[in-house]
């Protein structure tokens, strides 16, 4: 099965089943493709649980229906995200961490920052970041923690406090019930949702951050460097 945007390649169309999500992307980072793929997966999981008569606690069709409104609400964070981009644009590295759903979002955000901002970025699972990655980080990096309401949020608080000792710039994305005792220079408050919906409400601020960070660095966030001669030449060796 393939979940893809319109105008996908022949090899993808060779899958047994295909779900088309959105119009073909223009931007290199494929942000709307990822977001709409999440929505398709949410519907798929919901229908499977219904078909098998499984109990999916905290997961319902009403939740899925909330996604568009939640995304519109989170877009109101744009001024704060723009300011965050100004703060961290001079830094050499960005690290994002989270647990469960937050881990996947952290990895996706780091990928987008690489693609659009040409800066070192990594996404980590909350506990993983302490085993190696933390040893090579310092004040030249920014650290962004994703809070999902899990017990592991306490560990995230510890990590951000530790990052303060290293003089890192710290940011967090959390809802109003979990934003207490967070040591960070900036906290982006998102709507309170079941944990699985944080895949959407955390993602959008990070997508906005990628965009404004690219602009702060004087870059075009849509090209993936394909407008540069050497990168365009390099891509001919693997694109077909």
* pLDDT on residue 71: 95
In the numeric block, the tokens 């919906």 are attached to 197
* pLDDT on residue 212: 97
| Alpha-helical runs (H) found in the chain | 10-13, 31-51, 61-74, 78-88, 101-117, 153-165, 198-201, 203-216, 229-235
Strand partners, 143: 95, 170
For Cα atoms 198, 122, 105, give the angle at the middle one, nearest 5 degrees: 15
Strand partners, 18: 2
Domains of the chain are 2-56 (no CATH), 76-216 (3.40.50.10490)
* pLDDT on residue 81: 98
| Residue 205: HSE in the Cβ half-sphere, 13 Å Cα cutoff | 31
Confidence class for position 58, pLDDT limits 50, 70, 90: low
pTM: 0.92
* pLDDT on residue 53: 79
| Gap between the Cα atoms of 211 and 51, Å rounded | 40
CA distances to 13, 45, 126, 210 from 42, in Å: 22, 5, 24, 24
- Examine the pLDDT at 240 and tell me if it is beyond 60: no
What are the strands of the beta sheet with 186-189, ordered from one edge? 120-125, 93-98, 141-146, 169-174, 186-189
Q: Supply the DSSP string of 46-108, one letter for each residue.
A: HHHHHHTT---TT--HHHHHHHHHHHHHHGGGHHHHHHHHHHHTT-SEEEEEESTHHHHHHHH
Greater confidence (132 vs 7) lies with: 132
- Examine the pLDDT at 57 and tell me if it is beyond 70: no
Question: What are the tens digits of pLDDT across the range 114-157?
Answer: 999 999 999 999 999 998 888 889 999 999 999 998 889 999 99
């Amino acid at each position: 099965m393939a979940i893809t945007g319109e105008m996908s390649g022949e090899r993808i169309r060779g899958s047994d089943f295909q779900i088309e999500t959105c119009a073909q992307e223009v931007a290199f980072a494929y942000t709307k493709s990822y977001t709409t793929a999440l929505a398709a997966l949410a519907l798929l999981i919901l229908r499977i649980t219904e078909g098998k008569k499984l109990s999916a606690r905290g997961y319902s069709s009403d939740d899925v229906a909330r996604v568009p409104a939640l995304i519109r609400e989170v877009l109101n964070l744009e001024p704060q995200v723009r300011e965050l981009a100004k703060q961290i644009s001079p830094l050499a590295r960005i690290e994002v961490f989270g647990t469960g759903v937050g881990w996947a979002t952290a990895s996706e955000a780091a990928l987008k920052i690489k693609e659009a901002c040409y800066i070192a970025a990594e996404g980590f699972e909350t506990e993983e970041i302490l085993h190696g990655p933390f040893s090579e980080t310092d004040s030249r990096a920014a650290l962004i923690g994703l809070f999902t309401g899990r017990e592991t949020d306490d560990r995230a608080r510890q990590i951000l406090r530790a990052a303060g000792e290293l003089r890192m710039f710290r940011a967090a994305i959390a809802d109003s019930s979990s934003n207490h005792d967070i040591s960070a220079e900036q906290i982006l408050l998102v709507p309170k949702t079941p944990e699985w919906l944080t895949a959407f409400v955390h993602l959008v601020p990070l997508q906005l951050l990628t965009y404004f960070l690219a602009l702060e660095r004087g870059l075009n966030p849509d090209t993936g460097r394909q407008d540069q001669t050497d990168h365009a030449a390099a891509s001919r060796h693997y694109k077909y």
